[in-house]
Every structure is written in structure tokens, then in C-alpha cells.
Structure 1
Amino acid sequence: MKLLSYRSADRCSWGALVDDQIVDLAAVNPGWSTLARALGEAGTDGIRHAVAASGTAHRVAPGAAELLPVVPDPGKILCVGLNFEKHRIETGRERTQHPVIFTRFPDTFVGHGAPLVRPAESESFDFEGELALVIGRGGRRIAPENALDHIAGVTCLNDGSIRDFQSHTHQFTPGKNFPATGAMGPWMVTLDEIADLSDLELTTRLNGVEVQRAPLSDLTYSIPEIVAYCSSWTELRPGDVIATGTPGGIGARREPPLWMKPGDVCEVEVSGIGVLRNAITADA
């Protein structure tokens, strides 16, 4: 099942992609105003039943919808840094005993097809293709062996980074939180449709040229380990998003550096999920 959030006719909603149309699930059940709320109240099983019962009602043509970030209103966006060995090595960082975690704000993300905005303060706008988890069932102190039970689905994410601001100090926050510098989408694929997350492959392309490729089996900290660690110090809630890290090949570590610039197009593809595509524009 593919779930997405969108805007159509000046109304924000969310739904499921079925037979090349969007089933407006906020119209099917007005109590489920957002995907995050529906996950908390009904879970993916309840959403699936609602889709099956909707028939042909409340359909929206994808061409009439502007896609938003899969979860526009997450309570938390947690990002794992340096979580592919090749990327850690290219940055010159030592391996840590625990995952490196930083946060992003919801307004830093746009949806599939929307422009990523290079801020006026910097030209060092870098790409980071990633797999992101969407939490479906909340919890604290989740054991690794139970972690997958708490994931509703997965999506593509571009953790666009302003590298000079990121390196102002040892804290990543400024370089990761300029508005509209990251993207999430085009949709979330529910976990029941993915046999093994470690079998997925991540590819990033800039203007059609491959710049990153790695299997998810190359993660330094596995997805169950990430969920367990994050839930040890914060309560995960339905709709929370966890970005799992980027492979090697980032623009900042190339010679010369390769930055995203206005007019470019960046694509993040994860096998079994889809392609997240965004053009780059300048900050007006």
C-alpha cells in the first residue's frame, strides 16, 4: 500500500494510491485529518480496511494533486549521521559507540516535484539520498527484535545540507534546517510489501548522473538498532520520521566539490519504493 499527503484545490489531505488514482482518506474518514493521526488511531491495518471499503468514491487524479512531504506534520524528525561506512570514512570521522543523531524541522522538507531552495547565505548545497522510516506504533525502550513492529512504512528522503553552516561547530543543526532544503516522498510504502529492508538499494542522481549507490545492508547501525536506540531516550509516536543515513559520494568530499545549484534536478531512488525528484531553485 502506498500512502501519501497532498494538496488539491487549496485543501490539504492524504490518501492511498490505488489504480493510478488517490483515494482521499481524509474524506472517507473525517476523523483522520492527517496520515499521522490515522496511523495513531487505526494503524496500517485500519487504513487498509478503509481503502477497501471506499469503493470508487473520493478519488483524486494525481495530476490534480501537489504532493507534500509524506508526513507533513511529524512530531519528530530524527536523522542518523555517518551511518554508511564509506560515508564515515570519506568524512574522516571515527566510528562512534552509538548512532549519531540530529534533528530536522518539518518546514525544512518539501514533497516530490516541489523545488529545493538553495539559500542566499550559501552555495554549498549538498545532496544526501536516504531511506526514511515512518513510525506507525509508538513506544519507549523498544527492543531491536520488536523494532519492525513499530514501523508503518518507508519512503525516500533527500537530507539536503548546507555544508558550510553544518561545519560552523560540531553540531549539525544549522546546516540541516534551512527551509525547503530537504525532500520526502513521493509516498510511503507500507512495511508488509517489503520482504527485507536490507535488500533495498539506494541511488542518488544529479542531473541524471549517478552520484551515490549502496545497499541498505551496508548501514553501520541497522534499522532495528536505530529504532531501539532512539526509543531509549525519547518516546516514538505515530507519524515520527527517522532518516537512516546517506551513503558515500556526497558532493562535499569530491574534488572539486559538487554542489546542487539552481536549474539542477536531484533524484533519490530506493528500490521497491520509487523515485523522489526535485529541481533546485535559488532563494528569492
Structure 2
Amino acid sequence: MKLISYKPKEIPGDFRMGLMVNGEVYDLQESYRKAIGVGKGVPLQRSMPTDPASFYRLGKDVLNLAHQAERYLKDTEETPISKDLIELGTPVPAPSKIICIGKNYAAHAEEMKGEVPDYPVLFAKFRNALIGPADDIEKPAATNKLDYEVELGVVIGSEATNVQREDALQYIAGYTIGNDISARDLQKRTPQWLQGKTLDRSTPIGPWVVTADELEDPSNLAVCTFVNGEKRQESSTSHLIFDIPQLINFISSLITLEPGDIILTGTPDGVGVAMDPPHFLKDGDVVRLEIEQIGSMENRVREV
């Protein structure tokens, strides 16, 4: 199941939860109403909210209801929403936590002239950084060294504290693509990376969340980055130093993970700062990310 966030392009309003079924867009709440035979006069906000943030906070119970809507759409001939009339937003717009993993591919640690870590390297982003899968990546005047990082994103589906490795995948709602845009000059000017990692409107997430039942094994997914059509990063999640069960085990031993939280699992080698000479993102550049079994996401860089 592919979960999206969408709103009409020309009409002011909030983003709504939607489904992508056979390449077509449908409203999730309206599809669920039809699936269970409930008219529009009956409120469903507690069981099937339209708001994406509220949806993910309900955890895995609401995912089971969403599957009813998906099955209904696959069995009927409902009219989809025209993709020309909508814009997609970041599918998880208001996570309580965005936890990022640094140096989680050995080849990337090497190109950054760092050692392979003994423990996962954790840092954070804030929700002000999140943008949709087709939005512009904003490049502020504060940085001249903006860089790309393709990452597999994990969306938490159940509250997780002290989770054992063997149980970890049960706590996942789904997977998405993230671009951990990094201002290298800001990141490196202090020992703490935060200021270079969470610039306003800099981190695309999307284009959707592929639910865990559809992507059962995230341990061997091809990941790629293209900048203006040139391939820059190419690897596989099989090369993660700390795989997803290890990450959930480690993080949940320190921090309670909540439904809707995002873990960005790290980037492979091929980042711009490590090229000779370095290649940083500039106004007008187009960055395309691809992750196997999820899809692709393309964003343009815009100076602000």
C-alpha cells in the first residue's frame, strides 16, 4: 500500500491522506467510507482522519483500516483524482522525531575521512526542514556548500521502547525516500552537526510511504542519486553498517520511538563534498533519488 499526502493545487486548504493505487490517486477517508458503507454525515476523524499527522499517530490500527479502503479500490472502478490537479506533500509532515544516522555505510565513512563507528551516530532534524517530493530544495545565503544524501527512511508504526532486534521490523509502518540535504560548511564549523542538517525547507521526503507488508525485506534495496542526470551515488542497503533492526534496537534503548517518527538510515558514498574537486548543489540543479521497491523523487534547488 502506498500512502500519500495531497491537496488541490489551486484551492487553499490542508493536505489530506490519500492512497496511490495502480498509479492513481484516491482520497483515503472517502475511499474508506465507501468501503464500509458509511455516508458523509458520519464523522470518521477518530477512526480515519484526513490529516496526515493525526493518521500516523494512530499507529498500526489505522493502517489496517486503510487496507480496507485499498482493497475496495482494487475491486471497484472508482474515479481517481486527476494528478494534474493536485500536489503531493511530504507523506509524514509532523513527526515528533526525525532521527538521522551518520556514517552508516563504510565507503561513505571512508570518503569523509572518518572511522567506521562502533555505535550508531545519531543526530536530529526538525520538521521545519521537511518538504514534499516535488518541492524546491531551498538554498539560503548562509551556505555555499549544499550537498545531497540519498537515504532509506523508516516510518515507525508502534510505540517502541527497548525493542529486541528480532522483533524490530514489527514496529515499522513503512518506508520512504529521504534526501538528507547537508550544508557542509555549516555542518563542519562546530563539532555538532545540527546547524548544517536542518535548514528550513531543505529535506524532501516521499513520494509516498510504502507500507511494511508490501516491502517486507528492506535489507537489500538498490539506492541511487542523480544530479542533473549524472549518477553520483549507487549502493545497496545491504551495505548498511547498522541495519534497520539494529538501529531500532539501539535507538529504542535510549529514546522511546512513537508512531510517525522517521529514521533516516544513512547515505552511501558519492556525496558532492568527497568529489575531486568537490561538487556542491547550486541554483537550478535537479536532484533525483531512487530506491528499489519504493520509487523515485526529484527536486530542484532554488536559492532564497
**Residue in 2 that maps onto 1:21:** 24
Superposed counterparts of 1:155-170, under 5 Å: 155-170=176-191
**Residue in 1 that maps onto 2:130:** 109
Q: Which amino acid aligns with 1:37?
A: S
Taking the aligned partners of 2:51 and 2:116, their CA distance within structure 1 comes to: 38
Q: Which amino acid aligns with 2:12?
A: D
Q: Which amino acid aligns with 2:143?
A: S
Q: What SS class does the counterpart of residue 60 from structure 1 fall into?
A: coil
1:143-183 deviations in whole A, cap 9, x for unaligned? 11111001111111100010000001111100011111111
For residue 60 of structure 1, report the CA deviation from its aligned partner.
Answer: 2.3
Which of structures 1 and 2 has the bigger CA Rg? 2
Gaps in structure 2 of 5+ consecutive residues: 33-43
Q: What SS class does the counterpart of residue 213 from structure 2 fall into?
A: helix
Which residue of the other structure, out of 9, 12, 25, is the alignment partner of 1:10? 12
For residue 269 of structure 1, report the CA deviation from its aligned partner.
Answer: 0.3
More displaced, 271-280 or 37-46?
37-46
Q: Which amino acid aligns with 1:104?
A: K
2:106 counterpart of 1:91: no
Taking the aligned partners of 2:180 and 2:69, their CA distance within structure 1 comes to: 32
Q: Which amino acid aligns with 1:2?
A: K
2:282 counterpart of 1:261: yes
Q: Taking structure 1 as the reference length, what is the TM-score of the superposition?
A: 0.94
Which residue of the other structure, out of 144, 148, 151, is the alignment partner of 2:165? 144
**Residue in 1 that maps onto 2:99:** 78
Q: What SS class does the counterpart of residue 275 from structure 1 fall into?
A: strand
1:73-113 deviations in whole A, cap 9, x for unaligned? 11110000100000011112222221001000111121111
Q: What SS class does the counterpart of residue 253 from structure 2 fall into?
A: helix
2:282 counterpart of 1:280: no
Gaps in structure 1 of 5+ consecutive residues: none
Q: What SS class does the counterpart of residue 175 from structure 2 fall into?
A: strand
Matched pairs, number: 283
Q: Taking structure 2 as the reference length, what is the TM-score of the superposition?
A: 0.88
Q: What SS class does the counterpart of residue 173 from structure 2 fall into?
A: strand
Superposed counterparts of 1:62-73, under 5 Å: 62-73=83-94
**Residue in 2 that maps onto 1:37:** 54
1:39–1:137: 8 Å Cα contact kept in structure 2? Answer: no
